[in-house]
Chain A
Amino acid sequence: MTPPPAMADAMSPLSRPRDSRANIDIMAPTKGAPWPYLLALGLAILGVVQGFLVLAYQAYVGLGVAGYQQPIFWGVYIITFVFWIGIGHAGTLISAILFLFRAKWRNAVNRLAEALTVFAVLTAGLFPVLHLGRLWKVYFLFPYPNQRALWVNFKSPLLWDVFAISTYASISIVFFYIGLIPDIAMARDRATGGKKIVYTILALGWQGTGPQWKAHSRSVLHLSGLATPLVLSVHSVVSWDFAMSIVPGWHATIFAPYFVAGAVFGGFAMVLNVLIPVRRIFRLERYLTDYHFENMSRFILFTSIICGYAYGVEYFIAWYSNVEFEQSSFWLRAFGPYWLSTWAMIVFNCVFPQLLWFKKLRTNLPFLFALCFFINLGMWFERYVIIITSLSREFITGSWGLYIISPVEIAVIVGSFCWFSMWFLLFLKAFPVIAIAEVKELIIHAKDHGGAH
């Protein structure tokens, strides 16, 4: 396989300055802080502050201000929780699963995807806490010794979720950090002043010796082996929060694979939504080529088809089951008060992505950016449809209701996006957005083997 143009260029001795070109290019975004960056960071922090203020108001007044009323007690917070957890899945898929499959193209995108995973999980983790209402009781979720000797219910999917999400957050952070160590050491070798001190501490004395690389490679391999079943389990466990109940529209065995495919689908869309502007703003075209976007587009197309199949199967099973509650639930999804969300979900997630069958569109970045924006919207609506339509029409007509998003919930959602953006913007200035050591592995390998890798 011929290397992408960027690598062929970087391999040329004439074009290569004294330091590695990859080091210079990829570390460039960490230098300085131009006003558009500071403005974006300022707005993100402002959004976070307003989110916390609104949260304080909700904590003081009660969850009623968040639109929680009979019969809907799982609202936008749970929807957005599932949305953010899903976003993280692409990162783990790229960093762990594609690593095990030796898909070398992942080397250019895995760092950013892993960072998005960590920040998405940090964002998702907020929502179960917000959903509690009494935020200060959050420790009740964990098994802790108490004077009543009363432990948590290990037979509940909600408790499984606590363990799944905590493990996912921990392993994602460990994976992210281990991958960063060689690049932090590289940054340490070139930094001065306070930055050098911080990098020196974080690099843990990394020098790229044989035993260090050997231990590092094995650690990444083992963590990939652990993270692969983990990522499949996390969204499966999230799906069981619903599927283990008997609520019509939720009680389906297809939920686990359906949720996992949807998570990867939405996650890839978010990676592209972030990657495309980052590539343009920081001029990383040499490293993030059409080849990468085409591969990611194929993933999106593939997972979109799985989602479409899952949507179809849900309707088929509802009809085939001959259970009137299931049938009504799905009829109401398409033609009830929330029909707009359902059709938005179907069009954004199943119809629009079919355009990716065209090769030209798979590498058309403005098109991909717009498509991924709609996919993200569609994935949020997917969770909205699953949660709200089912809860608003349960078995007894007396407990039917209509759900309307409250301003408090909108403010908290905005705050969550700002929280995610804030971490991402801080990451941009602290660490390289592309795994430099892994890119250099490809560049040097190509140089050593006459352009083939």
Chain B
Amino acid sequence: MATVVSIFELPSNTASAIRKLKDRGFDDLTTYSPAPFPEIEEAEDASPSKVRVFTLVGGLSGVTLGFLMQIWMSLEWPIKIAGKAFAAIPPFWIVGFELTILLGGFFTLFGLLIVGGLYPRKLDKHYSSRFSAEEFGVVVHCEERDVSEVEMLMRGESAKEVTVVDS
């Protein structure tokens, strides 16, 4: 196996290179970008992010927990207040709403950490501080025989630098 590391200056070239690599069946690739660019994200993986599932589950858990908590606590020691029912639903919407947002937000954070693989860890071997400046990186793992094809493809997409490592 070989690894081809390419550096790009523009997101459009990077996205185009990723699309061509995918078309040729080179799926084992990693991209590095200094800022979010939807064209790169779509070229790499067009499916919707799973973070949305976390947000939804968090929000639904929050509203459920909010109402159940208030109803249970109000009924556990029933005190008549302002002539309202012990478990009066309209005023409970406020806390129910706040807990929807609170848990929705926390679950979104967990979603980011889990889906994005974020935890304190060692950085990838081919990661460079240039990717947190203004350059883009595309790292392709391919068979030795495909190296020249990948290299040509990258240069065809205006890659600034193409380096073959681990060959």
Contact = CB atoms under 8 A, between A and B. Distances in A.
Contacts of A178: 109, 112
B74 A210 contact: no
B117 A226 contact: no
B118 A181 contact: yes
B61 interface: no
B81 A233 contact: no
Given A149-B76, A223-B108, A210 B40 contact: yes
Given A154-B74, A222-B108, A448-B11, A216 B36 contact: yes
Interface in B102-141: 102, 104-106, 108-109, 111-113, 115-124, 127, 129, 131-134
Contacts, number: 200
Contacts of B32: 207-209
A14 interface: no
B9, B99, B120: residue with the most chain A Cβ atoms closer than 10 Å:
B120
B120 A201 contact: yes
A360 B59 CA distance: 46
Interface residues of A, number: 69
Contacts of B70: 154
B112 A444 contact: no
A444 B44 contact: no
B101 A229 contact: yes
Given A143-B73, A151-B76, A208 B95 contact: no
B35 A438 contact: yes
A208 B60 CA distance: 30
Q: How large is the interface on B (under 10, 10 to 19, 20 to 34, 35 or more residues)?
A: 35 or more
A218 B49 contact: yes
Interface in B58-102: 59, 69-70, 73-74, 76-77, 79, 81-82, 84, 88, 91-92, 94-95, 97-99, 101-102
A324 interface: no
Contact of B41 (A213, A229, A440): A213
Contact of B10 (A16, A214, A444): A444
Nearest to A164: B98
A212 interface: yes
B82 A206 contact: no
Given A19-B133, A218-B49, A218-B52, A448 B41 contact: no
Given A210-B44, A222-B52, A441-B36, A153 B105 contact: no
Interface string B35-61: 111101100110011111001000100
Contacts of B102: 166-167, 170-171
A79 interface: no
Interface string A382-415: 0000000000000000000000000000000000
A448 B40 contact: no
Interface in A161-185: 163-164, 166-167, 170-171, 174-175, 177-178, 181-182, 185
Interface in A218-235: 218-219, 222-223, 226-227, 229-230, 233
Interface of B: 9-12, 30-38, 40-41, 44-45, 48-52, 55, 59, 69-70, 73-74, 76-77, 79, 81-82, 84, 88, 91-92, 94-95, 97-99, 101-102, 104-106, 108-109, 111-113, 115-124, 127, 129, 131-134
Given A237-B94, A440-B134, 8 more contacts: A16-B134, A155-B81, A209-B30, A209-B33, A210-B33, A212-B117, A438-B35, A445-B11
Interface of A: 16, 18-20, 22-23, 143, 148-155, 159-160, 163-164, 166-167, 170-171, 174-175, 177-178, 181-182, 185-186, 189-190, 200-201, 203-219, 222-223, 226-227, 229-230, 233, 237, 437-438, 440-441, 443-445, 447-448
